[in-house]
Structure 1
Amino acid sequence: MREPDWQSEDGDIKLYCGDCAAVLADLPEKSVNCCVTSPPYWGLRDYGTAEWEGGEAECDHTRPDRQGASGERATRTTGHDDIYRDLCGKCGARRIDSQLGLEATPEEYVDKLVEIFRQVRRVLRDDGTVWLNLGDSYGGLAGGNNGVPPEWQRAGRGQSRVTKIRAAGTRTKDLCGIPWRVAFALQADGWYLRQDIIWAKPNPMPESVTDRCTKAHEYIFLLSKSARYWYDAEAIKEEAIGTGGGAFGKVLMADVAAKSGAQARRYERPDYREIGRNRRSVWTVATQPYSEAHFATYPAKLIEPCILAGCPAGGVVLDPFIGSGTTAEVCATKGRGCIGIELNREYMELAIRRIRPAIQQGPDDALFKQAKRIEQPLLIGE
């Protein structure tokens, strides 16, 4: 088994630097409770992980017709779309890059994700779930700027850049439907597609478009390995509107608590709340700014329900695209372990800096501090 490139003192948080498919292949079978992740979106960004083989060492591998720009204009217009994608036309060097998202077509991207999630399925317990966050892209010039204003496209040291891939077989302005293509492909590959959850953004990224609405949502897909799986609905209940106590409430709860089996044991848990309703499938969560270099970070509040519902306290969450470390940070504050994989070593360093304070702070609730000593009931799906 491969040793982690970094781990917390107690070994609960482990980070690996490398291609996620290769790292996953080295992890033991059925060793994680759930997977919470957001892969790089198709055609949107180049995260700067490419290396060049052969050719001339001093060559910049930039297309000649793109050179000469300087100042503010260069900052805004020069990106990884200006660099040869496969073979340098000037020195003949070959580009070697295993990052996801720069495939020539949506089909190639989907196929690659299906292969990666076959490895995820191998390391996932039989009662495990996947919570997969995906955004969409437009066709023709894949990604392009997707209506994003120029000032949002700037990239400094260690940052991703907006990329523009000439996507074969797609029409300009066509929405590619990438999230649903991936979801249906995973379903066809054997996963149970349990639910689509809408991430509604009250503060979406502005777009310079006038012939459609500003995009203000993304998807989170809940997938399971088996028909019966761990799912703790109690941990993510919403406040019920108009629900009170009183005699009726007490009688009702006494009746419910009298049930036998796993459900009855649930009411003895410290995190049980008598008042609440089953969580709805539209989650309104504001995007969260991140001051460091990594661009694509989902907010901690978005994935907290995924981790609480999908992984028992003391269990292990997998994120094969850990990026700046949000998943591991939330796991540290919720009494869960985490295995994270990141291709870009610079981003992994960002993740470590972000995770350390969360580890030092420890779990944010007395329940999670006792996580490994609390007997957990087996909660299963339909």
Structure 2
Amino acid sequence: MPRIARTIQNEVAEPVQDELDLNFDIPVNIVIGDVRKCLSQLPEQTFRCCVTSPPYWGLRDYGAENQIGSEITVEAYINDLTAVFREVRRVLTDDGTFWLNIGDSYTSGNRTWRGPDKKNPARGMSYRAPTPNGLKSKDLIGIPWKLAFALQQDGWYLRSDIIWNKPNCQPESVKDRPTRSHEYVFLLTKSEKYFYNWEAVREPTKNQKQYRSKRTVWDVNTEPFSAAHFAVFPPGLVEPCILAGTEPGDVVLDPFFGSGTVGLVCLRTKRKCVGVELKTEYVQLAQERLRPETDLFLPRAAINVI
């Protein structure tokens, strides 16, 4: 039960959120709940790094009321995420980094309903938002940069735009534009000075005899997860973020935990992780996915679900 605090002036009782019962002796903590409520229960300056991929606007129906990604307008979606990531900034250490993967969307052309995909029920949306103000039918909306600039305006330092190039991208049936094969990963920080281990992510030159600083185009294949009807955050995309942004033993946050890729990479690189996930079904998938890693590296119970 939440504690009750009284304001002396007007004697109105207001709930005060207790901090979540995280156990940092255990490498993975998973919090079940809406990120908009759960993040406020995390202590300040706890995490060295945040790596996440929020639900994309208007793409999937996760079956939850008022879910992020189902907003009627792009502006509401951007506002929701900006508020969430403001809390992320609060719980990051001063030298922490925030790695944000985000994809784009096209306008719906004023179509208001999309039926379910037989292979992927989550792709069906009971409602499709109308064409945003100022845009036209079939326009590319530009959500990644709208969000990046909103976060910059909100106080984040926008340090890098990384292109996630997908060599095995999903084919599209469109005949009037190129097939989309990339998404963005933005690197954001709380201040001008922050922890970034460039040596940990050096990459070999073409002749394989020398190393260079990591470039801003990352070739990473998408990876299916047999237990889910959706593509998961690939470990190859997450690992450079964690290696560059943390040291062994540091704690990493993923406020949209999904199937648990960030937790998986943390286990493999000897970091700790806290994930927040709205759907119990996905938490169960994440536990199944992480359990072989915990059995391999850690003989005792290694996942704490709150």
Q: TM bucket by the smaller chain?
A: 0.7 to 0.9
Give distance in 2, aligned partners of 1:238 and 1:19.
38
Partner of 1:300: 235
Partner of 1:17: 32
Normalising by structure 1, report the TM-score. Answer: 0.69
Higher strand share: 2
Deviation at 1:292, TM superposition (A): 1.2
Give distance in 1, aligned partners of 2:29 and 2:165.
31
Counterparts in 2 of 1:171 and 1:296: CA distance versus 1, 3 Å: farther
Partner of 1:113: 81
Counterparts in 2 of 1:138 and 1:302: CA distance versus 1, 3 Å: same
Deviation at 1:11, TM superposition (A): 1.3
C-alpha distance after superposition, 1:315-359 (max 9, x if no partner): 011000000111101110110000000001111110111111112
1:289 has 2:304 as partner: no
Partner of 1:239: 204
Deviation at 1:242, TM superposition (A): 4.3
Give distance in 2, aligned partners of 1:242 and 1:211.
39
1:324 has 2:292 as partner: no
* SS, match of residue 44 in structure 1: coil
Deviation at 1:2, TM superposition (A): 1.5
Aligned residue runs from structure 1 range 105-184, under 5 A: 105-141=73-109, 153-155=117-119, 160-163=122-125, 164-167=127-130, 168-169=132-133, 170-184=135-149
Normalising by structure 2, report the TM-score. Answer: 0.85
Counterparts in 2 of 1:182 and 1:37: CA distance versus 1, 3 Å: same
Give distance in 1, aligned partners of 2:206 and 2:243.
22
1:224 has 2:189 as partner: yes
Counterparts in 2 of 1:22 and 1:294: CA distance versus 1, 3 Å: farther
Give distance in 2, aligned partners of 1:98 and 1:140.
20
Deviation at 1:287, TM superposition (A): 0.7
Deviation at 1:302, TM superposition (A): 1.0
Give distance in 2, aligned partners of 1:12 and 1:344.
21
Q: Is the 8 A contact 1:144 1:162 kept in 2?
A: no
C-alpha distance after superposition, 1:203-249 (max 9, x if no partner): 111111000000000000000011000000111100133475xxxxx
* SS, match of residue 235 in structure 1: helix
Deviation at 1:3, TM superposition (A): 2.4
1:206 has 2:168 as partner: no
C-alpha distance after superposition, 1:256-276 (max 9, x if no partner): xxxxxxxxxxxxxxxxxxx41
Task: Point out where structure 2 has 5 or more consecutive residues left out of the alignment.
Answer: 1-18, 299-306
Aligned residue runs from structure 1 range 1-382, under 5 A: 1-3=19-21, 10-49=25-64, 97-141=65-109, 153-155=117-119, 160-163=122-125, 164-167=127-130, 168-169=132-133, 170-242=135-207, 244=209, 275-362=210-297
* SS, match of residue 233 in structure 2: coil
Higher helix share: 1
Letter in 2 for 1:345: T
Give distance in 2, aligned partners of 1:180 and 1:233.
25
Deviation at 1:303, TM superposition (A): 0.9
Counterparts in 2 of 1:278 and 1:143: CA distance versus 1, 3 Å: farther
* SS, match of residue 349 in structure 1: helix
Q: Is the 8 A contact 1:43 1:142 kept in 2?
A: no
Task: Point out where structure 1 has 5 or more consecutive residues left out of the alignment.
Answer: 50-96, 245-274, 364-382
Partner of 1:60: none
Deviation at 1:162, TM superposition (A): 3.2
Q: Is the 8 A contact 1:195 1:221 kept in 2?
A: yes
Give distance in 2, aligned partners of 1:29 and 1:135.
29
Counterparts in 2 of 1:145 and 1:299: CA distance versus 1, 3 Å: farther
Between the aligned residues of both structures, percent identity stands at 50
Letter in 2 for 1:153: D
Deviation at 1:137, TM superposition (A): 0.3
Counterparts in 2 of 1:177 and 1:354: CA distance versus 1, 3 Å: same
Deviation at 1:172, TM superposition (A): 1.8
Q: Is the 8 A contact 2:224 2:231 kept in 1?
A: no
* SS, match of residue 34 in structure 1: strand
Deviation at 1:165, TM superposition (A): 1.1
Give distance in 2, aligned partners of 1:243 and 1:350.
38
Deviation at 1:312, TM superposition (A): 1.1
